[in-house]
Structures are given as structure tokens and as C-alpha cells.
Amino acid sequence: MQYVYRRCGWLLALGVIVASGSFAAAQPNIVLIMADDLGWCDTSNPLTTRGHASDFYETPAIDRLAAEGMALTNAYTNGPNCAPTRAAILSGQWAQRPTNNIYQVDHLNRGGPDTLLVGPRQGLPRGDDALPTKTFTYAEHLRDNGGYATAHVGKFHVATSGRPITQQHGFLENMGGGRAGAPTAYHCNDGEFGPHISSSLDRFAGFYSQDYVDRHIKPYARNQSPESIDQLVGTPIHVSDAMADAATWFMEQHKTKPLMVQFHPFAVHTPIGNKQARRDLLAKYQAKTPGDEDRNASFAALIEGMDQSVARLIDYLQTTDDPRNPGQTLDKNTLVIFLSDNGGKQPQSNNGPLKGQKGELDEGGIRVPMVAWSGNPTLVDRGTVNHTPVSGIDLYPTFAALAGAGLPEGVTLDGADLSGILADAEATLDRDALYWHLPGYLIGGGRDQHPQSVIRAGKWKLLYNYEDQSFELYDLEADLAEANNLASSNPQMVRELGARLIEWLADTAAPLATVRAGELEVEAAGPYYADGEIREASGTLTLTAGDEVPLVLPAE
């Protein structure tokens, strides 16, 4: 299902009448925190993971947000790795839209020259996983129609360089973002973080001083001695700390306006190792008894370093007076969203009971920890757990609705407004299903992703495999691990969900993988999707090199 919105200008009711003792939410500040490659069970909170918390990694700040705010247990990203999720959040669109067109990192043929099928071209001709500059991002919309001061801090990935982030994608400030998907190193060197971290963050590079450590590290440390933390003095600053410096600096400079801060840590993406960890945290985890599931000390140090940067942002919001709302602090008019950009990369990451990992459309690749938090109970129903399936693609319409910004004229948004369910855990979301489409390959590094389309509707998840025209059907309520394929025992559900998947592909004119060479025979028995439309056939379809391989329903 798609949602086409028209610009309706500024809403009159920017204030919300609330019960006595609460605060009105007027153009709330928005802080979007998106960790990189953090697996579903890489945090120590049991709320977002249905009890599957890490037995080694510690994330006290994220745990606190989950306990005080809303923990979302069925949260998804829009692609199995970094770039498609970031593109979908910024554009509010499925990958197949021309102003998105990013399905995975790099390109769609990461399976070598001998795969059965060939994926289509994605992204820009000179930047395969970069957003078109004509894309009207949520940052542009909040800036132009909500008067927001907008900042990006950290990893961006879906631009050809740092320049489009501020010149075309709607951010007043960019601090660290560029084309690269991974940092070459987590610590600065000679006053620079580069080359894969944009020089726009270098103003926050340098060395830890005693004053810095006392003010910005010790208050957020857990289970560490002051002496171990003091050993940081004189060493190069870690990028996770520099990012917190950058974000709080921006908020302090622009707090007289509504704020939108896109805070995207580089952690916990590779490289991972002792040199990348902050030394005090590495020493802590090297001395800690390993867990039964998790035991990687350098990975744990990256996770907790990122968590401490989150703690600093929340502390700033809770201790800073709000110039727009005298008598209250910024947190009383701020929505914070925390999530990961995709599932964890094995072996260091922990996706718990979920099948698969980063790069795959199994649950382990696309289900992520997600939390909504605010100091204002009219924005987030505090202390709740919500099982509604939600997706990163929902953030654009959600932020626009909360900002009172209307919705952009002539722009197709594919997500749903989550503001209602965030404010009330008992509310329902008017959406029939979530969808994924990946018409290419990612094989290697433990991943084995082939061309697939996926639908999740209610408890059911259906996957279609284009190479052999097979279906997989899972009941995610009873089978979170996707271990029991019910396609053969429930053909009616396969046909029902498959028909909806066909309609969605046609509605979005989704491109498909094509035959590499020779001939491929496909048996059709009714409606099928290919070449941008739904067709009817009964019998054998003979495909040759360059032909799209269709999604066909099984015979009744």
C-alpha cells in the first residue's frame, strides 16, 4: 500500500491540549539515533528482544530508554544492510521508487559472474548506492515547511560526498557524513578522523584532557574505576565521543528553533579490534567474565562507547532549558528514536534466535532493536512495550506529522504515520503489510542472499525465491527462528500473500532480476508479475538472456 500526500502547509494546532501536569508538544525536537550493524540481541535490554538480552555487552543508556519509553519488538529496516535503510528513511520510499533506487550496498551483483540471474542497476551511475539529488528528504521537508534547524552527525553513506548532504539533502550542518560505509579507524590521528569520516567532523578531533574525561566520560561510565578512565588523558579522541560533542554543540547553537538531529554512529561497523576500542572500555571487557553467547571484548567496547554517546545526548536534553518553552527542559518537547540500520554481522554480532544476518532478508538481517523515548508522555506512551510491526520507512510521515509541517506536494511516501501508536501503546496502525524487494545477490562473508521479494502481514511472513519460483511461509508468532516452512501445508495463505506481493510489485513498478544466459523455463498458472505489470498465463514461459524472471503464483 502506498500513501500519496499533498502539501497542506502549516497546521494551526501546533500545540496539543493535554492533561494537567503534562507538557504541550509543539513542534517537538527530533533526535534520530541509528547505530550501524547493531544486532537484535547486541544490547543488554530484554524489552526490544522479548527477553533475549546480551549476556556480555552492556548498554545502560539504551536499556534506560527502553524501560522509560516504548520498546518496539517488531521493528524492521527496509533493506538488509546499510545503504537501503538510510535511503528509505531519508526518502520515505520503497527501494524501487526512482527517487530512492537503492536496494543494498554497492550494487546488486555481489555474487560473482556465474549466478543464474543478473540484478538491475541501482543508485547513481557514478555512485551505485547514492540517493538522487532530486530526492526530497524528510530533512528538507522539516527545514522548508517546519522551520527546523537540521543536522547530520556521523555516517551518511548514501551521497557521493559530504557536499550533497548540506546542498541537496536538507541538512544545515554535516559533521562526519560522506560516501563511505565504514570508518578506516575509530580514533582521530593528527587532528583528523579521515579518510572515510568526513573532515567536517575534524573540528571535534584532538586529545582527551582531564577536564574532558571528568565531564564527558566519568558521569556515563558503569562498572569502571576513575583510575582506569584517567588513562585516556592525552590519547586521541574516539569518534563516538566526538560525535556526541558535535551533536550537543549543534543543539546548543540552535535550540531557539525546533531541532532535528540525525545522529548516526559509525559503531559497530568494521573495523573491529583492540585498536578501534576506547582503551578504558577494552580493559573493562577484557577483565569481564565472558558470557555464554557473547564474549568479544573489542566489539563490546564499541557498543558501550556508542551507548555512552547516547547517554550524553539524553543528559543534555534533560538538563538544558528550552528557550521555546520557558520553565521546562528540552526533553519535555523532544522525541528520540533509537534503532539499528540492519541486523548484526556474524560472528561478532548476536541476532539471538533469529535466522540469518546482515545482508539477508531473513529476520536476522532486517529485524532490529528500536526504542522511542521522550520526556513528554503525550509524545511517547512511557514504560510500554509495543508489538506492532513498524519500519524505518515510517519515520518520514511520523516526523512530518509531529512537526505540523503538512506533507510534501507530489511526493509519494510509502510509510505510515506512527505518532498515534507512539503516543498510545493500545492504538492500532492502519496498514495491511510490510514489504521488501531485493532483485540481486549478496553472497560471501557468510551471507547467501539471492533475489527475493518478501511480505509480512500480521504474524505471517512469505518469501519468494526468483531462481526456482519457490515460496517460504513462516508463522513468526510461533516460529521466530523461521525454522518451519509452512508453504506446502498452507497453500491458501501462500496464494493470498503472493497475490498481495504481486500487486505491490506492480504498484511500484519494481524491476526484477534477468536471465544471465541461455534459457529458463518457468511454469505459470494464472497471474504473474514481470516487466512492470501483472499478466495472465497458463503453461510454460520460456525466458532467454535479458528477460525478467517473474513472480508466479503456485497452481491451485
**Among 509, 515, 513, 510, which Cα is nearest to 442's?**
513
Question: Exposed, middle or buried, 67 (CB in 10 Å: 0-12/13-18/19+)?
Answer: middle
Q: Is-contact 120 514, C-beta < 8 A?
A: yes
CA–CA separation, 312 vs 99, rounded Å? 35
For residue 351, give the amino acid letter: N
How far is C-alpha 477 from the chain's CA centre?
Answer: 23
Strands 370-373 and 334-340, sheet pairing: antiparallel
Of 52, 141, 152, 157, catalytic: 157
Question: Exposed, middle or buried, 525 (CB in 10 Å: 0-12/13-18/19+)?
Answer: middle
Of 41, 52, 82, 437, catalytic: 82
Q: Give me the helices (H) in 18-126, please.
A: 60-68, 82-91
**Residue written as grid cell 527502553:** 66
For residue 536, give the amino acid letter: E
Cell of 501: 506481493
Q: Is-contact 232 279, C-beta < 8 A?
A: yes
CA–CA separation, 53 vs 40, rounded Å? 9
CA–CA separation, 425 vs 2, rounded Å? 24
Helix axes 60-68, 297-319, angle to 10 degrees: 50
> Is residue 187 flagged as an active site residue?
no
CA–CA separation, 355 vs 220, rounded Å? 34
> Is residue 82 flagged as an active site residue?
yes
Determine the Cα angle at 238 with ends 244 and 76, to 5°. Answer: 60
> b or e along 153-162 (b: 16 or more beta carbons within 10 Å of the residue's beta carbon)?
bbbbbbbbeb
CA–CA separation, 106 vs 279, rounded Å? 33
End-to-end CA distance of the chain: 26
The radius of gyration of the chain from alpha carbons, rounded to an integer in Å, stands at: 23
Residues 6+ apart with CB under 8 A from 524: 537, 538, 539, 540, 541, 550, 552
CA–CA separation, 197 vs 194, rounded Å? 5
Strands 3-5 and 334-340, sheet pairing: unpaired
Residue 528 is inside which H or E element, if any? Answer: strand 519-530
For residue 219, give the amino acid letter: P
Q: Is-contact 469 487, C-beta < 8 A?
A: no
CA–CA separation, 12 vs 137, rounded Å? 23
| Catalytically active residues, by annotation | 82, 157
